[in-house]
Chains A and B, each alone.
Chain A
Amino acid sequence: MARFIVRRLIGMAIVMLVVSFLTFLIFFKIPGGDPADRLAGKYATPGQVAAVEREWGFDKPFWIQYGNMMEKTFTGDLISYTRQDKVVERIIDGAPRTFSLAIGAALIWLVLGVALGLFSALRAGALSDRFLTVLALIGISMPVFWLGALANYYLGYKAGLFPDGGYVPISEGGLWEWFKHMILPWSVLATLFVGVYSRVLRNQVLDTINDDYVRTARAKGISERRVMGRHVLRNSMIPIVTLWGLDFGYVLGGGAILTETVFDLQGVGDYFAESIGALDVPPVMAVVLFGAFFIVLLNGIVDIVYAALDPRIRLS
């Protein structure tokens, strides 16, 4: 286990290094991406631009610039080119919003996806199964920006059932206000995943149910509920765990950009979208690292859970 963790940590460092390097390279080479031009203002003289270049270190070689940016990222001194505020502080500020969204939505889509998938599998071919199949496909096909906007407009603005967007920290508005603001974002983000997960689980259960050991379990005379729970579902959950870990890591790392934007949550994903639009490299770098960290972390956790679920898999 210790060896596994050490290996994973080394792997994480490598992944973050490569990801950050590629991101930096892309923004370094992108046309119109020269930050000095923009920092110096619209009608700056070449002399002014050169002064900005010297001041910010843009005249240094590529490697030095990359090294400086990485150093500042980890010391917390990274400054945005557009707002000229501290990037790490913005991320720390946005993280609880993103985490609120990710954790709630991930729980909803896991529970609902598994429940609906299992229900569908138990009634495979029946009307209710076909209905759920259509529903899942609709859920998968609906774009978040559209569904989110509709929910916001009709349930939030028109019906007034929910606040139309925004985020209220628990420390300010209390648990209920926070919860009320999160319901729509959670539901909208979870919709897509519920569709995918219920499909995956349904097919997995139908596969597993024909396995020899399920027949053995039935031959033992244990209850059908136990056959389904301990033998069928247990084995069907293995791919779901993998999927869930990756998706959860992605959303935790700020990947639910559309949801965060539509509901004006001002989380990390929101910040990311805003920074990309402005070709503002420092926040993009920092958020990419932030996201990569969670994806690699969740990957490692998935591997541990995986080994616990399936004894044939060893971590070493």
Chain B
Amino acid sequence: MSTQPLLEVDHLKVDFRTDEGLVHAVDDVSFRLGQSEVLAVVGESGSGKSVTAMTLMGLTRSPNARFEGSARLRGQELITASDDELRKLRGKEIAMIFQDPMTSLNPVHRIGKQIVEQIQAHDDVSDAEARDRVVTLLDRVGIPRSRERIDSYPHEFSGGMRQRVMIAMALSCDPGVLIADEPTTALDVTIQAQILREMRDLRERTGTSIILVTHDLGVVADIADRIAVMYSGRIVETGTLDEIFYDPQHPYTWGLLGSIARIDRPRPHRLPSIPGQPPSLIDRPEGCHFRPRCRHEFEDCPKYPELEGRIGQAPGHDDRCWLPVEEKRDRRVVADGQIGLEAEGATA
């Protein structure tokens, strides 16, 4: 791993003007993505994870969107880049896989042609050469009889196969960064596992860095090196996979971890959930956004919590909770060593 991170995001803010008011979709998001690293961005719907990902691609640009902060890919600024500069990077340096493979491919064009289109947008190659590359790509993502299937239309593929096509398309120009926005959410469980294995293999073979946007902690445990937990537009905690799973600092992370059904634990009477609703992105609580739902709230919480190292001996493990570390380690244990926000059934 080189010392210079591939992607550096600093204090990224994205606001959208709407009729109801200014929506603060992304609020002060900073992270680093190293070479061949898999960063999982975890959070519930509306936490800003998809908007963050799409903003890196320039896909959220619109007259009603406002951007602040910076995102640099190999030193090149993305947020203020012109549409044309960004277009040259899209699909070439930074590619994206979307959530719903059933609707993400154009129904009226053959899949081969759709991938060729991307290759020829960036590389000056002949039709035949581009086609050969597509066949190789389809082979690589595990599509059988790729030479025939290249001329199929999307509707002739199953959901899992279409997602493989999407992956092949994303990888067609060997991007440095691959953003996968909930790539397995729309697929059934057996296909999910296959697609994840595919992505893991790809990282091994090509050294592509991956940003995996998901709400599924099970997916994260399978593939991620590092995790960023997002809540209400902010990253509330970030660290390595082990740090987040075994030494989580933010009460929201505890709640997330506590709400996973686990096969190695006795079956709970009722799966714990985090009480309350996420705050409106227009009218947010002062200080910590999680405050209204947090049973550990105290007098420091209305102060703005920076995302910073609060543990001391764990560089890179940052969070936004004002509680002292010892207090956190004590309070997060809800029952015989289990981590959670509340004990089982406490929300009933």
Q: Please list the residues of chain A having a beta carbon within 8 angstroms of any beta carbon in chain B.
A: 211-213, 215-224, 226, 230-231, 234-235, 309-312
Contact of B121 among A212, A223, A310 (CB under 8 A): A223
**For residue B122, which residues in chain A have a CB less than 8 angstroms away from its CB?**
221
Q: Which of B106-114, B126-134, B195-203, B270-278 contacts A (4 or more CB under 8 A)?
A: B106-114
Q: Is B117 an interface residue (CB 8 A)?
A: yes
Interface contact A212-B90, CB-CB below 8 Å: no
Q: Are A217 and B107 in contact (CB under 8 A)?
A: no
Among the listed stretches B93-101, B223-231, B252-260, B308-316, which one makes contact with chain A, having 4 or more residues with CB under 8 Å of it? B93-101
In the complex, are the beta carbons of A219 and B103 less than 8 A apart? no
Q: A215-B59, A215-B98 are in contact. Are A221 and B92 (CB under 8 A)?
A: yes
Bound: A211/B106 CA distance, A: 9
**Are A221 and B104 in contact, CB atoms less than 8 angstroms apart?**
no
Could you tell me the distance in whole angstroms from the C-beta of B56 to the nearest C-beta in chain A? 11
Q: B103: which A residues are within 8 A, CB to CB?
A: 211-213
Q: Which of A219, A223, A312 contacts B107 (CB 8 A)?
A: A312
Contacts A222-B121, A231-B106, A235-B106 aside, 9 further interface pairs with beta carbons under 8 A come to: A211-B103, A215-B59, A219-B57, A220-B90, A220-B117, A222-B117, A223-B87, A310-B108, A311-B153
Smallest CB-CB separation from B172: which chain A residue?
A220
Partner of B108, one of A221, A224, A311: A311
For B109, the chain A residues whose CB sits under 8 A away are: 230
**How far apart are the CA atoms of A219 and B100 in the complex, in Å?**
15
24 contacts between A and B (CB under 8 A): A212-B98, A212-B100, A213-B103, A216-B98, A216-B104, A216-B166, A219-B90, A220-B90, A220-B91, A221-B87, A221-B91, A221-B118, A221-B121, A221-B122, A222-B91, A222-B117, A226-B117, A235-B106, A235-B108, A309-B108, A311-B107, A311-B108, A311-B153, A312-B107
Interface Cβ pair total, 8 Å cutoff? 73
Write the chain A residue with the least CB distance to B99: A212
- Asked if B89 CB lies within 8 Å of chain A CBs, one says yes
The verdict on A234 contacting B108 (CB below 8 Å), with A212-B98, A220-B169, A222-B117 known, is: yes
Q: Chain B residues near A218: list those with CB within 8 A.
A: 59, 90
By a CB distance below 8 angstroms, the chain A residues around B59 are: 215, 218-219
Find out whether the CB atom of A221 lies under 8 angstroms from the CB atom of B89. Answer: yes
Residues of B within 8 A of A226 (CB): 117, 121
Query: Given contacts A215-B98, A216-B98, are A222 and B107 in contact (CB under 8 A)?
Result: no
Contact assessment for A219 and B95 in the assembled complex, using a CB-CB cutoff below 8 Å: yes
Nearest-Cβ distance from residue A313 to partner chain B, whole angstroms: 10
> Would you give the 0/1 interface string for B210-227, flagging 1 where the beta carbon is closer than 8 Å to chain A?
000000000000000000
Per the bound structure, the CA–CA distance linking A193 and B177 in Å amounts to: 49
User: Which of A211, A212, A224, A234 has the most C-beta atoms of chain B within 10 angstroms of its own C-beta?
Assistant: A212
Assuming the contacts A216-B104, A221-B87, asked whether A312 and B118 have C-beta atoms less than 8 A apart, the reply is no
Q: Which residue of B lies closest to A214 (CB)?
A: B106
Query: What distance in Å separates the Cβ of B72 from its nearest Cβ neighbour in chain A?
Result: 18
In chain B, positions 315-343 with a C-beta closer than 8 Å to chain A are none
Contacts of A217 in B (CB 8 A): 106, 117
A308 CA / B117 CA spacing, docked (Å): 20
CA distance A231 to B90 in the complex (A): 17
Q: Could you tell me which B residues sit within 8 Å of A by CB distance?
A: 57, 59, 83, 87-92, 95-96, 98, 100, 103-109, 117-118, 121-122, 153, 155, 166, 169
Residue among B83, B91, B155 facing the most chain A CB atoms (10 A cut-off)? B91
Contacts of A309 in B (CB 8 A): 108
CB-nearest residue of chain A to B61: A218
Cβ 8 A contact of A213, one of B95, B107, B121, B155? B107
Docked Cα-Cα span, A312 to B153, in Å, equals 8
Within the complex, the shortest CB–CB distance from B136 to chain A, in Å, comes to 18
B117 x A213 contact (CB < 8 A):
no
Chain B residues within an 8 Å CB radius of A230: 109, 117
CA distance A235 to B105 in the complex (A): 12
CB distance A220 to B104 under 8 Å? no
- In the complex, which of the residues A217, A221, A310, A312 has the most CB atoms of chain B within 10 Å of its own CB atom? A221
> What is the chain A residue whose CB lies nearest that of B166?
A216
A222: chain B residues at CB < 8 Å are: 87, 91, 117-118, 121
How far apart sit A242 and B88, CA to CA, in the bound complex (Å)?
37
In whole angstroms, what is the CA distance A223 to B155 when docked?
A: 25
Considering the chains assembled together, what is the distance between the CA atoms of A230 and B96 in angstroms? Answer: 20
Chain B residues with CB under 8 Å of A220's CB are: 90-91, 117-118, 121, 169
A219 CA to B94 CA, complexed, in Å: 9
In the bound complex, CA of A224 to CA of B59 (Å): 12
Which B residues are CB-close (under 8 A) to A231?
A: 106
Q: How many angstroms from the CA of A223 to the CA of B96 in the assembled complex?
A: 17
Query: Which residues of A have CB within 8 Å of B92?
Result: 221
Inter-subunit contact A212/B107 (CB<8 Å): no
User: In whole angstroms, how far apart are the Cα atoms of A53 and B95 in the complex?
Assistant: 83
Known: A216-B104, A218-B59. A312 touches B88 (CB 8 A): no
Contacts of A213 in B (CB 8 A): 103-107
Point out the residues of chain B lying under 8 angstroms from A212, CB to CB. Answer: 98, 100, 103-104
Shortest beta-carbon distance from B190 to chain A in Å: 24
Of B88, B89, B106, B155, which is within 8 A of A216 by CB? B106
Cα A224 to Cα B109 with chains together (Å): 18
